[in-house]
Every structure is written in structure tokens, then in C-alpha cells.
Amino acid sequence: MLKFFRSPASMIALLAGIAGVLLVLYAWRLPPFVTSVETTDNAYVRGYVTIMSPQVSGYVVEVPVKDYEQVKQGQVLARIDGRIYAQKLAQARAALDGQKASLDNSRQSELSARATIASSEAQIDSANAALKRAQLAWDRVSNLNDRGIASASESEQAQATLEQAKAALNQAQAALEVSKQSLATIIVNRSLLEANVASAEATVHLAEIDLQNTSIVAPRDGHLGEVGVRLGQYVAAGTQLMAVVPEDVWVVANFKETQLEGMEVGQPVSIVVDALGKQRLTGRIERFSPAAGSEFAVIKPDNATGNFVKIAQRVGVRISIDPDQSLARSLTPGLSVVVNVDKSVEPEAKTAAK
């Protein structure tokens, strides 16, 4: 037996076997390699990468920015020829002026109609007065006629005057009704004219928006990606011109489902950045994905067909970067990192509560 251990080949085989056993124990996290630290290299820096696209079509007349340039919110990134849109705006404003003139004319017609009503009412008063005089004259002639004093011609004239006064009163009353109906028609048409004015105003606002949209501006502070648009290029609505990447970044680490037990929001995280020479940053668990990554895949796996092999799924964990770290400014979306989470450390909120 001692000769067996003295043999170099036997010692190497023994050591290799021990190393193999230890490797299996480490891979399966079995004693004595049980640890509360979970690690994954399936983690990447993420950010708000905004693809800039125009809302109107036209030829590009200005591209004042270059690749990877830093931009400020509201800075012009590209400009589309706006002459056509400026003329459409002028046309819309002219149509609006025409509709407003029609509305003003309606208001003036209303004033005229009300004046006509007042005139018709005055004519009715005049007709009533004439009818009263004619009625009195007829009464006198009728009394004289009953006594045999008045002549036939006087009686006929008084009767004709009375009938004429009654007709004049009816005519004045009819004229008043016509004036009132004309006023009602004007007021009813007013709502249509007001709607036309509102429609013309909306058309003006749309034309103003289209003219403003000929200038593509940065929505936030950040850096540009590669500028794909060129001077003189014809672009349509939705054409991808360039990307704006703001300064805000975070990490999405995809842990296996077997690693999630014990992880909580607020736990500290250590982040090793490959692009920064393996230097470390700190962060906090912010939130967990509501589903495994396979659920968000375009083509979902169908495990109901063929032989089934259980594969540990991965769940995304969003990690915020702690502030006041100078290296954090060097992080850009897409960089790969290694994330370590010590599940034995209580979250910050629980520690503060104690």
C-alpha cells in the first residue's frame, strides 16, 4: 500500500481524482463550497437609446451634427426643407381669415335682422294707429248713415279706409314674422360658421406642427450614435436618422431561476466592468422581471413536442448604479459586466428600519 502512494503516477491520479471531486462540489455549490454570493456574467449595461425619426417627409437641407457628438436637449440634429410646409401654413391661415370674415358677417347680419325686427314692430304700431283712426271714422260715418245724414260715397270711403288699415296691419305683422325667421336662420347658421372657424384653426395648428417638425431636435441631453442621414437625402416619416443616448444607464443581469432565492430589492450589488479593466462599481437591486426571458422571445419554445430536457430559465434583474462614482460616467449601453449579489446582506430599507 505504501509502495502505491510512493509511485508518482499514483499520486498524480489521486490528486486528479480529488480535484475532480472538488470541482464537481464547487460546480453544484455543495459543502464545503456553499456560498451566499450569486454571480452571473450574463449581464449588460442598458440605457435609453432613442432612435430619431422625422414626422414629415422631404429633402434634408441641414445636418449640423456628427457621429458620437454630445448634444443638448432641443439642439437641432437635422433639418428638412420646410418651404412647402410654410406655404401650407400660409394657406391655412388665409382659410382661417376667410372663415372668421364669414362669422363676422353673420354677426353683422344678426344686427341688421334685429334692426329690421324693430322697424317691423314700429310699422305694426303705426298700422294699429291707422286702424284705430279708420275705425273711429267708420263709427262716425255709420252713425250719420243711420240718421240718413251721411252720403253713400262717404260711407264707402270710410269702409274702404278701415279695410285698408286692417290689411296694412296684417302686412306689418307678416313682415315682423319674416324678420324673426330671418334672425333665427342667422343664429342657426352661426354654429356652422363657428365650427368652420374651429376647423380652420385646427388646420392652422396642424400646419404649424408640420412646419416645426421639419427641425428634428434632441429630446434629452446625451451623445449621438452614428449619424445615418446625409445632406440632400429624401426621408419619409419614420426613417431612422440617428440615435440619441442619454447619460442615464443601469444594468440588467440575467440570473438563473435557481439563483433567485434570497434576492431582494435593495440588496447591494458588485459590478465588474470588462471595459474598465475589471474595475468594480457598486449598485442596488431595483426590480425583478415579471417573467422569464423566454416569455418575451419572438419565437417561444414549445416544450410539449419531442423529448424534454429541463433547462434552467433566466430572469432579468434590473440594477441601479450608485451615484457619485466617477467610473459610472464611462459606462455606455451594451457593455458586458459581471454581477455579484451577496444574498446574506439585508436590503438597505430593512437595515434602516432596524
Which pLDDT band holds residue 163 (cuts at 50, 70, 90)?
confident
Q: Are residues 58 and 90 in the same domain?
A: no
Which pLDDT band holds residue 251 (cuts at 50, 70, 90)?
very high
Question: Residue 190's pLDDT is what?
Answer: 80
Q: Are residues 93 and 73 in the same domain?
A: no
DSSP string spanning 30-63?
-TTS--SEEEEEEEEEEE--EEE--SS-EEEEE-
Q: pTM for the complete prediction?
A: 0.66
- 271-284 pLDDT, tens per residue? 999 888 888 999 99
Strands, sheet with 50-52, edge to edge from the N-terminal-most edge strand: 50-52, 242-245, 222-224, 70-71
Q: Are residues 184 and 138 in the same domain?
A: yes
Q: Are residues 327 and 290 in the same domain?
A: yes
CATH number assigned to the domain comprising residue 71: 2.40.50.100
Q: Are residues 152 and 229 in the same domain?
A: no
Q: Are residues 205 and 90 in the same domain?
A: yes
pLDDT at 352 over 50: no
Counted domains in the chain: 4
How many Cβ atoms from other residues are within 10 Å of residue 90's Cβ? 12
Run of H or E including 29? none
Q: Are residues 138 and 225 in the same domain?
A: no
Q: The domain containing residue 25 runs over which residues?
A: 1-34
- 324-336 pLDDT, tens per residue? 888 888 889 999 9
User: Could you give the dihedral angle defined by the CA atoms of residues 147, 152, 155 and 159, in that order, rounded to the nearest 10 degrees?
Assistant: 140
- 71-81 pLDDT, tens per residue? 999 999 999 99
Distance of alpha carbon 345 from alpha carbon 341, whole angstroms: 9
Among 265, 251, 248, smallest CA distance to 337 is for: 251
pLDDT at 218 over 50: yes
* DSSP designation for 253: E
85 burial (CB, 10 Å; 0-12 / 13-18 / 19+) is buried
Distance of alpha carbon 79 from alpha carbon 52, whole angstroms: 12
Question: Residue 146's pLDDT is what?
Answer: 58
Q: Are residues 45 and 105 in the same domain?
A: no
Q: Are residues 180 and 236 in the same domain?
A: no
Q: Are residues 343 and 248 in the same domain?
A: yes
Q: Are residues 26 and 40 in the same domain?
A: no
Report, as an integer, the average pLDDT of 44-53.
Answer: 93
Q: Are residues 265 and 344 in the same domain?
A: yes
Distance of alpha carbon 176 from alpha carbon 120, whole angstroms: 5
User: Which of 138-142, 287-291, 323-327 is least confident?
Assistant: 138-142
CATH number assigned to the domain comprising residue 200: 1.10.287
Do the Cβ atoms of 110 and 189 come closer than 8 Å? no
CATH number assigned to the domain comprising residue 315: 2.40.30.170
